[in-house]
Structure 1
Amino acid sequence: MNRLLLKTLFPSLLLGMSAAAFAATEQLSIVSNGETVGSIVVEGEGDRATVDYRVDNNGRGPKHREELTFGAGGIPTAWTIKGTSLMGGTVDESYRWSAGRAQWSSQADQGSAKAKQPPLYVVNDDSPYAIWVYARAALAQPDHSIAVLPAGRIALEQLRTLTVGEGDAATEVTAWRLTGVQLNPSYLLLDKDRKLFALFGPGADGTTIRAGHEAAVPMLGKLGAELETERAFQLQQKLAHRFDTPVRIRNVRVFDPASGALSPLSTVVVMRDTITQVIADDRLPQPEDEVVIDGEGGTLYPGLHDMHSHATLPSGLMYLAAGVTATRDMGNDNGFLQDLLSKIDAGQVAWPRIVPNGFIEGRSPYSARFGFIPASVDEALKDVRWYADRGYAEIKIYNSMNPDWVKPIAAEAHRLGLRVTGHVPAFDTPDRVIADGYDSIAHLNQLMLGWILRPEEDSRTPLRLTAMARAGSLDLASDKVQATVRLMKQRNIALDTTAVTLEQLMMSRARQVPMGQEDFLSHMPIGFQRYRKRSFVTIADKAEADAYQAGYDKMLETIAMLHKAGIRLLPGTDDATGFSVQREVELYVKAGLTPAEALRAATLGAEEFLGRADRLGSIARGKLADLVLVPGDPTRDISAIRRPRMVMKGGVIYFPTEIYTALGITPFTTAPAIRPAAKVAAREDAGGDAVGFGYGEHFHGD
């Protein structure tokens, strides 16, 4: 393994003391799926440190150099970062505090603030070392919480003490959870001197661990899962609401994805996880022994779908708050996903329904490090059988797969009843993978690259995204394009588009709120806000910016052309915020679909593809209760889907206001009025005790 050399982590953490010179040398490694994928080198002298940070994973990764000067309490008074970000965009960030004023400049923003003492600045392009800097500053506060620049507050929570390693290598460490920087928390292990021993969990890019302890990485994976599961259990108990009595949702207009129309004001009744009644023009008295929710004239539609997701434990609540009740997992750590599916089935964690895909990658320097990476075609067929035995719906093939292996993999998958999807492997073509057995293609750019790239160009690199800048000149009426479209139509090939991810990449501009994120970004944690307000690719001049704009426009034209040709479009995101699903649906409308057509694709259309339209995808008697309540009419203004007031998944009710508050996000709307059933208690879906409601008409949670 490559190892990470860390020279001095400034052990002096006492209040009022500056970081002192320290001659210690430590080595750490950054590990993903059992392989080293990155390195950091930190060199310290006096109150200064330099940090070289590098990650190479899946053909991409941040690579930059940090220079820091520390003041009292270990808080930086100067911090510069130069290099490239995840997808190769330029990083050039600086921060300085002097004479009572803090000033900063980054891709996200520039600004200044008066401060008598050095404040803690949250950088736009951080590293594991930066996370430790934040944690150390929070540790120095009595309540382990500290305000940060440009805005917000971070907090550190002590979790448990444990020993890592055995014998002379045994090290006693304490686990901490850091929140307030990004959507997901970071988990750190600090030794007795409060130096960084490891960084792991959903907020980390791989696991960073001190050299000599790499064998402990699997243990840290289990520890991270355990700590995050404890948090998820607590949130489910607090936020999930199930009732033992019918739930009557009245005064709503029901969206029918088959017709694209809204009903007159109606009532929908749910008992446990099933819709029992859909009543138009309901004028009967409301039963006293039922929970009644007043939709106040809003719209009730089936839950949305993310048809290209990669599940993490904390992302479930974000999905549900956005009205997403089903996902198609397009590749994951196999052990993690199996465990998550069990927890979802048991009602222990808040998560949409998941349809799992089995990830199979080829071996190359660019390999993605999860799922299976078989060494031979026979091994790949064995992996297909592993997925089939565990109930996976599809096999997903990735960038580095040998094109000659696609056909036998697809044949084995089909023999066992699984569909086949994925990227178009490097040096392969969409036409060939369809002929070899693909049932759908993942990502609009993977389809379009077949019309853009030259045969010798390598799509395992970021070129698979940046080449979309060439798309503007593409003739969609050309023979090569239309031949592929005809083949897709003949073979009934679907496409999960992930247009929102392409928009984030192609249209990102430094210091600008990204397109489609204007109405939610300011509600998010400060680190998330600033990371999104950046250029994810290098844009050297106006010509290059114009090329990306033209490529983006062509992307939307392609969506419209495929829809008109009758190709099934599956809204997907390759993201996990939930907001991205809403934007994906909006992009379909921007491309030319009607709002009703876009909503159909994200609801009933997705379930038709998944083969579950008999029980999901529309609101009808006898179907499972996956529902979303929003104000307004999304068939007229698709942006109405951005304001869910209530989300129901299998009869379990979630109020987005409660979810966002619990996750440190400013809520967007209010919960609907609710009348508890007379003399009937509620029980929490996660196994909590029965709780009666002793308050007024608005439900406020437990």
Structure 2
Amino acid sequence: MAFAATERLSILSNGESVGSLVIESEGSRATVDYRIDNNGRGPKHREELTFDAQGIPIAWTIKGTSLMGGAVVESFAWSGGRARWTSQADRGAVKADRPPLYVVNDDSPYAIWVYARAALAAPDHSIAVLPSGRITMEKLRTLTLGEGAAATEVTAWRLTGVQLNPSYLLLDGEQKLFALFGPSAEGTTIRAGNEAAVPLLGKLGSELETERALQLQRKLAHRFDAPVRVRNVRVFDPETGTLSPLSSVVVMRDTIAQVTAEDGRPVPADEVVIDGEGGTLYPGLHDMHSHATLPAGLMYLAAGVTATRDMGNDNGFLQGLLTKIDAGEVAWPRIVPNGFIEGRSPYSARFGFIPATVEEALGNVRWYADRGYAEIKIYNSMNPDWVKPIAAEAHRLGLKVTGHVPAFTSPDRMIADGYDSIAHINQLMLGWILKPEEDSRTPLRLTAMARAGSLDLNAEAVQRTVGLMKTHGTALDTTAVILEQLMLSRAGQVPPGQEDFLSHMPIGFQRYRKRSFVTIANKAEDAAYQAGVAKMLETIGMLHKAGIRLLPGTDDATGFSVQREIELYVKAGLTPAEALRAGTLGAEEFLGRADRLGSIARGKLADFVLVPGDPTRDITAIRRPRMVMKGGVVYFPSEIHAALGIQPFTTAPAIRPAEKLAAREGNDHGGHEDAY
């Protein structure tokens, strides 16, 4: 078919081209070719659409492969007053007098534009969507990109309601897609020929998302000039794994002032009082494998996560975020930054630095050290011969070293050459599974875990690695949750561990999670992945018994995944108390901050979580935080979730303000005041 119009857009990450979007349209029809190749993976699919006179799709098909290579076959059609759809997530049909706006499961930047155009044509720029939910467009600002004849006036818009995080679009005067961008230079889609504007869009995205984050922080962060007393709680002690009798914890500014047993004395009238109603107070959780985004901070806090270890990011973005967090401008857990260093190959990840020589890599280490980074993270394409000098320079400067096991080498060599921890349990186990010639820069580093089921954990190679870890004190950040999500993902099914929260989420997020990220050709492959997950958990239990420090990490940014990671430790054989210790005090011991954080004691920083129930008996109790405190600032997860378009899971505890004193910020407690 000859098409009358062709639009080409480039997709860039960290300043480098990683994909393209080509749109061919004629009349009411359009086809879209979308592909990304980044870090050895990326979606590649073709869309075909037919629109009605109002620009709403009445037919939409998508075929190709998803992020990890899984097959994509999706379709939507409206005719005869009925809308029907089929996707990996679900299938359904509803009566509809006119075409509804369908949110696809495997979307693209073009799909985001389709939603945006439909919302702009609706009253108040808001429209209901299938299978459920509502999306909204918000106009932000108008600007001109380019100069002279190439100058284009565009308008920036924020689209909410599809995914957990908003999308930012630039539309030209004809409301055509000029760019899809975010709060850093990573993952920008822009009209071909305008790639030079990507750094500007990274700054613009940061400004727009920062404005939103500042507004949310002012609304959701509750700060007090008076002492804050959290009473009627049982305090979890990660050292003993036990709960205290009913107690009160008093916080002044950012520090725990007192931890005392309830004794029946009257509460001073000049204190803010939060009634824990017999619940459990435990130290804030840690995500020891995070990649920070600005919107993720509130999600983490709502899940009871008060500290993260950033394992690689856009350097400029992360430096700016750290400044905002330190100033208290945005809601975020504490961040321990890792400096990302990758080798150059067709599979390179576009983060941090990609040095051309070992001398340049050593300079990168010094750059990170001068900016207060705690660790260096090494990635898949790194030359294994460079690891030892990189680690030596990092250690000389007081930094630890972590990372993937680079392709065509072994975890044993990386441990001997200076790794203080290994990132991902699959990166450790691949050393016992892969053949020497197999390339772990590809999705094989994940899919090869289907071979793990037959692994003998008493084998010489396995125990040799464990022995090296014990000798060198090497820790493992497990990220078991992301392996479980990948290996047990099945089309149309809610993934394990997500049953109680997924239905609360925005529709696009729900549907994307109910899909298969791996190709399952037959029952044997299904069983192999199931066995691989079981062996992964068995390995975690074995490492724990051997005395290897386990660091709960997720490679995800929802916060819910941290809770699941802790639960998986229990499934692996740790007691709930041991799993909680790993995610609290154990993480701080590794980070060298256990004197200030990781337990609830007088003089320590006030980072803790209130939940109903007893997580030392039922670890799933950590899924229902009612209040989270980070550095003395109080957050109520029910407020956070409501503000982010998520159906809340709990109610906030009763709070009594101090007499003649009021909160300095976030003074409206959303109706939580109660007679006490």
Deviates more, 1:38-47 or 1:668-677: 38-47
Quote the offset at 1:196 in angstroms.
0.5
Match of 1:541 among 522, 534, 539: 522
Number of the residue aligned with 1:267: 248
SS for the counterpart of 2:448 is: helix
Is residue 148 of structure 1 aligned with residue 124 of structure 2? no
Number of the residue aligned with 1:317: 298
| Correspondence 1:468-547 to 2 at 5 A | 468-547=449-528
| Correspondence 1:15-34 to 2 at 5 A | 23-34=4-15
Number of the residue aligned with 2:329: 348
Quote the offset at 1:24 in angstroms.
3.8
Number of the residue aligned with 1:16: none
| Correspondence 1:277-316 to 2 at 5 A | 277-316=258-297
CA contact (8 A) 1:83 1:92 kept: yes
CA distance in 2, matches of 1:580, 1:618: 22
Match of 2:543 among 562, 565, 584: 562
Quote the offset at 1:584 in angstroms.
0.1
Match of 1:104 among 79, 85, 89: 85
Quote the offset at 1:204 in angstroms.
10
SS for the counterpart of 1:125 is: coil
| Correspondence 1:458-477 to 2 at 5 A | 458-477=439-458
Is residue 650 of structure 1 aligned with residue 626 of structure 2? no
CA distance in 2, matches of 1:666, 1:201: 25
Number of the residue aligned with 2:50: 69
Match of 2:647 among 659, 663, 666: 666
SS for the counterpart of 1:682 is: coil
Q: What do residues 208-236 of structure 1 show as CA deviations (whole Å, max 9, x unaligned)?
A: 11122110000000000000000000000
Number of the residue aligned with 1:247: 228
Describe the shift of the 1:408–1:696 C-alpha distance in structure 2 as closer, same or farther (beyond 3 A): closer
SS for the counterpart of 1:188 is: strand
SS for the counterpart of 1:189 is: strand
SS for the counterpart of 2:154 is: strand
SS for the counterpart of 2:601 is: coil
% identical equivalent positions = 84
CA contact (8 A) 2:652 2:672 kept: no
CA distance in 2, matches of 1:420, 1:614: 22
Which one-letter code corresponds to 2:574 in the other structure?
L
Number of the residue aligned with 1:15: none
SS for the counterpart of 1:552 is: helix
CA distance in 1, matches of 2:668, 2:336: 35
Which one-letter code corresponds to 1:215 in the other structure?
A
Is residue 366 of structure 1 aligned with residue 347 of structure 2? yes
Number of the residue aligned with 2:597: 616
Which one-letter code corresponds to 1:491 in the other structure?
H
Which one-letter code corresponds to 1:226 in the other structure?
E
Number of the residue aligned with 2:659: 678
CA distance in 2, matches of 1:173, 1:71: 26
Quote the offset at 1:40 in angstroms.
1.6
Number of the residue aligned with 2:19: 38
CA distance in 1, matches of 2:184, 2:370: 31
SS for the counterpart of 1:540 is: coil
CA distance in 2, matches of 1:590, 1:541: 27
SS for the counterpart of 1:282 is: coil
Quote the offset at 1:694 in angstroms.
11
Q: What do residues 432-467 of structure 1 show as CA deviations (whole Å, max 9, x unaligned)?
A: 001111110000000000000000000000000000
CA distance in 1, matches of 2:297, 2:649: 18
Match of 1:51 among 32, 49, 55: 32
Which one-letter code corresponds to 1:441 in the other structure?
I
CA distance in 1, matches of 2:445, 2:138: 40
| Correspondence 1:316-465 to 2 at 5 A | 316-465=297-446
Q: What do residues 57-92 of structure 1 show as CA deviations (whole Å, max 9, x unaligned)?
A: 000000011111111310000101011100011101
Is residue 131 of structure 1 aligned with residue 98 of structure 2? no
Number of the residue aligned with 1:182: 163
SS for the counterpart of 2:123 is: coil
Which one-letter code corresponds to 1:650 in the other structure?
G
Q: What do residues 94-115 of structure 1 show as CA deviations (whole Å, max 9, x unaligned)?
A: 1111111100010000111111
Aligned length: 675
SS for the counterpart of 2:331 is: coil
Describe the shift of the 1:694–1:569 C-alpha distance in structure 2 as closer, same or farther (beyond 3 A): closer
TM-score normalised over the length of structure 1: 0.95
CA distance in 1, matches of 2:465, 2:58: 57
CA contact (8 A) 2:183 2:202 kept: no
CA distance in 2, matches of 1:694, 1:622: 30
CA distance in 1, matches of 2:181, 2:126: 20
Quote the offset at 1:44 in angstroms.
1.4
Describe the shift of the 1:696–1:308 C-alpha distance in structure 2 as closer, same or farther (beyond 3 A): closer
Describe the shift of the 1:694–1:25 C-alpha distance in structure 2 as closer, same or farther (beyond 3 A): closer
CA contact (8 A) 1:80 1:95 kept: yes
Quote the offset at 1:202 in angstroms.
5.5
Quote the offset at 1:370 in angstroms.
1.1
Instruction: State the 4+ residue runs in structure 1 displaced beyond 4 angstroms.
Output: 202-205, 691-696
Quote the offset at 1:693 in angstroms.
7.6
Which one-letter code corresponds to 1:312 in the other structure?
T
Describe the shift of the 1:203–1:103 C-alpha distance in structure 2 as closer, same or farther (beyond 3 A): farther
Which one-letter code corresponds to 1:566 in the other structure?
G
Number of the residue aligned with 2:146: 165
Quote the offset at 1:206 in angstroms.
1.1
Quote the offset at 1:129 in angstroms.
0.4
Quote the offset at 1:282 in angstroms.
2.9
CA contact (8 A) 2:654 2:672 kept: no
CA distance in 2, matches of 1:695, 1:635: 31
Number of the residue aligned with 1:697: 673
Q: What do residues 458-517 of structure 1 show as CA deviations (whole Å, max 9, x unaligned)?
A: 000000000000000100000000000000001000000000000000000000000000
CA contact (8 A) 1:604 1:618 kept: yes
CA distance in 2, matches of 1:133, 1:22: 19
CA distance in 2, matches of 1:635, 1:261: 7
Which one-letter code corresponds to 1:122 in the other structure?
V
CA distance in 2, matches of 1:473, 1:72: 58
Q: What do residues 125-167 of structure 1 show as CA deviations (whole Å, max 9, x unaligned)?
A: 0000000000000010121000000000000000000000111
TM-score normalised over the length of structure 2: 0.98
Which one-letter code corresponds to 2:372 in the other structure?
G
CA distance in 1, matches of 2:564, 2:138: 34
Deviates more, 1:523-532 or 1:63-72: 63-72
CA contact (8 A) 2:225 2:253 kept: yes
Quote the offset at 1:48 in angstroms.
1.1
Q: What do residues 376-418 of structure 1 show as CA deviations (whole Å, max 9, x unaligned)?
A: 0000000000000001000000000000000000000011010
CA contact (8 A) 1:186 1:204 kept: no
Q: What do residues 583-629 of structure 1 show as CA deviations (whole Å, max 9, x unaligned)?
A: 00000001110000000000000000000000100000000000100
SS for the counterpart of 1:683 is: coil
Match of 1:576 among 538, 554, 557: 557
SS for the counterpart of 2:12 is: strand
Q: Please list every run of 5 or more consecutive structure 2 residues that lacks an aligned counterpart in the other structure.
A: none
CA distance in 2, matches of 1:191, 1:253: 57
Deviates more, 1:278-287 or 1:543-552: 278-287
Deviates more, 1:415-424 or 1:199-208: 199-208
Which one-letter code corresponds to 1:476 in the other structure?
L
| Correspondence 1:597-616 to 2 at 5 A | 597-616=578-597
CA distance in 1, matches of 2:674, 2:152: 51
Quote the offset at 1:25 in angstroms.
3.5
Describe the shift of the 1:696–1:218 C-alpha distance in structure 2 as closer, same or farther (beyond 3 A): closer
CA distance in 2, matches of 1:544, 1:692: 54
Q: What do residues 619-666 of structure 1 show as CA deviations (whole Å, max 9, x unaligned)?
A: 000000001000000000000000000000000000000000000000
